Structure 1
């Protein structure tokens, strides 16, 4: 499958699975059913790179592609390693995955990719100003977008909140761990989002993660200055966002 201006390709690398699919860049949707392979254990750079190659070869893809990664990513280098082998710290992921696939690979933080997809095609489409996309799951992922431009690697789940790492108090995993009612969890979210409001003054907050499917249980309990809405693209956001960002970089390079 040859890449074109109409289609891109995205891969979402996670701690348990590596998923990929071609993407309709105009419509912001998967162009084929995604292909998933369990993340190899241990998830060393070499093992993950070969799995990414398998996903690409499954579709016979040729052209630029984007890969999400659960880490801070600067210029293709993974600076941290959340839920993957620690040998990814300071690895040149862009070069490694490019060599494995034989393609031009853009590596991007997973929350950034999902957030950018929500801006282009989801709950934040056509919204100007400062948009914050937060994913509530095992931790708190964040993507900060200002007038359509992504500010990468914000890592706002690690803001200090009452002496704690914020995600250890307000993530969905924290809700389950502490057996919190929706009301009690909403109080923690209120504290977290108010703190973020005071720092960034966003025009819109989009909340993703699995718990966004139950937004009616907790979202009305929040009392914030900012409009808060659930994410729209669910589990496909990372693949879509990575594909779009990779295609935009390729176009910029000419």
Structure 2
């Protein structure tokens, strides 16, 4: 019998869940709730468990979470609440749910769902913040927090391309910044492929991107649903996710 994986994507604006068969086919429709605010661990975990209770039978859980995650411990999560820094989410959920659980950064999980496993592949996620993941021949290079790197005028990629920046400057200027960022990232990583995901990827098409002719074919816009579908890879990858 195929194991059922409950894949969960925790974001600053919503928490999404879906059931997946081992072969990646869907075993349920997607469920979604708003992320509570303030999203302290106690409040967010209560909402998460309420959502899980609606999903029926499952055998194991994969979670994409918006911070660096080290053996189930969250580091940062600046778009949720400061109390997440150093919080043992893995142990807390195992005690509550009594199920095997693996947790990774949400951009890493989306990347697993997007990559082809060949060469240098970079993933960026555009949403409340700016997430990133880097893969070499399908292997994750973990704990990349590119969004917190200073990019221009003492501002980070997240400062310039997160949702607050989009709200402040409008789509056209935000898009221009994004294209400049892609060109800068190409010089830095010399990637074979860049995947753009996250909730605000829905605002884009490749025809919007003003990029050099040699760079444009290396860029793909992918569905934010890969943040759920990539959860299966946490059980297949050799790294020791909790």
Residues 126-167 of structure 1 show CA distances to partners (whole Å, capped at 9, x for unaligned) of: x51011111122322111111111122211122222232122
Deviations 1:43-85 (A, max 9, x none): 2223333333333332233422111111111111101023223
Aligned 1:107-146 pairs, distance under 5 A: 107-119=103-115, 125=116, 127-146=117-136
Kindly tell me: are residues 153 and 52 of structure 1, through their superposed partners in 2, closer, same or farther at Cα, counting changes over 3 Å? same
Normalization by structure 1: what TM-score? 0.81
Shift in Å, 1:201: 1.3
Aligned length: 237
Map 1:33-48 to 2 at 5 A.
33-48=29-44
The equivalent of 1:206 in structure 2 is 195
The residue that corresponds to 1:66 in the other structure is 62
1:225–1:154 distance in 2 versus 1, CA, 3 Å: farther
Change (3 A) 1:217 1:209: farther
Q: Deviations over 1:196-245 (max 9, x none)?
A: 222221100111234433314522x11275411111xx232122212x13
Aligned to 2:177, the other structure's residue is in SS state helix
Matches within 5 A, 1:2-13: 4-5=2-3, 7-13=4-10
Tell me, in whole angstroms, the C-alpha distance in 1 between the residues paired with 2:82 and 2:122: 28
Is 1:106 the counterpart of 2:96? The answer is no
- Residue 23 of structure 1: how far off its partner (Å): 1.2
- Could you tell me how far apart the structure 1 residues matched to 2:239 and 2:111 are? 21
Q: What residue is the counterpart of 1:164 in the other structure? A: 155
Deviation, 1:91, is 0.5
Q: TM-score, normalising length from structure 2?
A: 0.85
Q: Against the structure 1 CA distance between its residues 212 and 41, is the aligned structure 2 distance closer, same or farther, given a 3 Å change threshold? A: closer
1:23-44, CA deviations, whole angstroms, 9 ceiling, x for partnerless residues? 1332x34321122233334322
Cα separation, partners in 2 of 1:117 and 1:192, compared to 1, 3 Å: same
Structure 1 residues 44-59: aligned runs within 5 Å:
44-59=40-55
Assess, with a 3 A threshold, how the Cα gap between structure 1 residues 22 and 195 changes in structure 2: closer, same or farther.
Answer: same
Structure 1: gaps of 5 or more residues: 120-124
Q: Decide which of 219, 223, 240 is 1:228's aligned counterpart.
A: 219
Unmatched tracts of structure 2, length 5 or more: none
Q: Structure 2 CA distance, aligned partners of 1:251 and 1:152?
A: 10
The alignment partner of 1:73 has SS state of strand
Provide the aligned C-alpha RMSD in A.
Answer: 2.7
CA distance, structure 1, for counterparts of residue 240 and residue 77 of structure 2 = 29
Deviation at 1:95, TM superposition (A): 0.5
Q: Which has the higher helix share?
A: 1
CA distance in 1 between counterparts of 2:143 and 2:213 reads 24
Partner Cα distance (1:249, 1:228) in 2: 25
